[in-house]
Amino acid sequence: MGPVLLLLLVTAVRLTAGQGVDRPTANLSTVWTNNASFFFDKVIYTSGTGPDFRPIVLRVRPIVLRSPETSKGPSLGAGFICRSPSSDEADDTACHFAVFMLINNSDIIWSSPQVVWSANPDHPIKENATLEFSSDGNLILHDADGSLVWSSGTEGRSVAGMELTENGNLVLFDRMKATVWQSFDHPTNVLVPRQSLLEGMRLTAHTSGTNWTTQYQMYMAVLSYGLYAYVESTPPQLYFSRWAAEQKVIFTNGSLGSITLPAANHTQFLRFESDGHLRLYEWSDNVREEWVMVSDVMRMYLDDCSFPTVCGDYGVCTGRKCICP
């Protein structure tokens, strides 16, 4: 069973005037500092995960923000997102520079944000870390102590600006509006509509929906005209495969390559999760406005015993039951 997110409390913070309007682009020679005094559109969520839950505070600090096509849909943002085990500005706060979906209706941001890409999943940063968009076109992430965490590697490539597109692709573009660098070329654990997974790219599971550090036990990749899922080992252990017509798969409305998916009624995303499942989520704006899992994609082809973590680290699955060896 996958991780369960229990929403305990939602604290909504009103944006300052004008911040509900699109600001999907950013200019060169700009530095953003990851702290509450720098970002006025701070949002705090409190949640817990699983049976041994503890309160978690999430802070969302968008640098660029794109409003949804409909008034009730999720917005897209790119910026800092932080988690800590309490409301205090504690030393164990872990932050990421990320692209995320969030609800931003009627000047209020609320509901748990969904991270769809992270620049630094293996190196969380602290309060007062900085993101610099340098004059020579490089996007550079430094931790609070000044150490280099990540960069786009685009210095000297005629970058003129940064944009978050309507489908959640963070793009650095040149003066002719041509793409120099894009987050879609560096997927983490999520695919959004119109995103492709090309040969050699991987989806690698994160620890949970609110802990964006990489969990290297399992991954998905496109290799030799197929979509494959493996347990990381020597050699890798294959547990799922599906033929692909090309050496890539594209997530479109109703399909992932040759895999049929439920058609979208609202915003969707696919997430490869720490239990080895690939799940399709969709925003529901009915009575309970929330993200709903609408398809456990691999379950169309695999039984419970085919998933490598179904019985934990030491159990053995046989006849859909876990036993001790």
Q: How far apart are CA 192 and CA 184, in angstroms?
A: 9
Per residue in 160-204, pLDDT (tens digit) is: 999 999 999 999 999 999 999 999 999 999 999 999 999 989 999
For strands 179-182 and 170-174, give the pairing. Answer: antiparallel
| Cα 66–Cα 72–Cα 77 angle in degrees, nearest 5 | 25
Q: Is the per-residue pLDDT at 43 higher than 90?
A: no
For strands 108-118 and 159-164, give the pairing. Answer: unpaired
Q: How far apart are CA 307 and CA 295, in angstroms?
A: 16
Reported pTM: 0.85
- Most confident range, picked from 73-77, 107-111, 148-152, 224-228: 148-152
Per residue in 240-284, pLDDT (tens digit) is: 999 887 889 999 999 999 999 999 999 999 999 999 999 999 998
Res 54: pLDDT = 57
SS3 of 222, please? strand
Structure-token pair, residue 309? 């973590």
CATH of domain 22-178: 2.90.10.10
CATH of domain 187-324: 2.90.10
Structure-token pair, residue 315? 């159990």
Mean pLDDT, rounded, for 220-231: 91
For the chain, report the end-to-end CA distance as a whole number of angstroms. 21
Res 3: pLDDT = 40
Q: Please state the domain extents for the chain.
A: 22-178, 187-324
Q: Is the per-residue pLDDT at 51 higher than 50?
A: no
Same CATH fold assignment for domains 22-178 and 187-324:
yes
Q: Is the per-residue pLDDT at 116 higher than 70?
A: yes
What b/e readout covers 68-79, taking b as 16+ CB neighbours within 10 angstroms?
beeeebbbbbbb
Average pLDDT over the chain, rounded to whole?
A: 83
User: Who has greater pLDDT, 157 or 92?
Assistant: 157
Alpha-carbon torsion (302, 306, 312, 313), positive or negative: negative
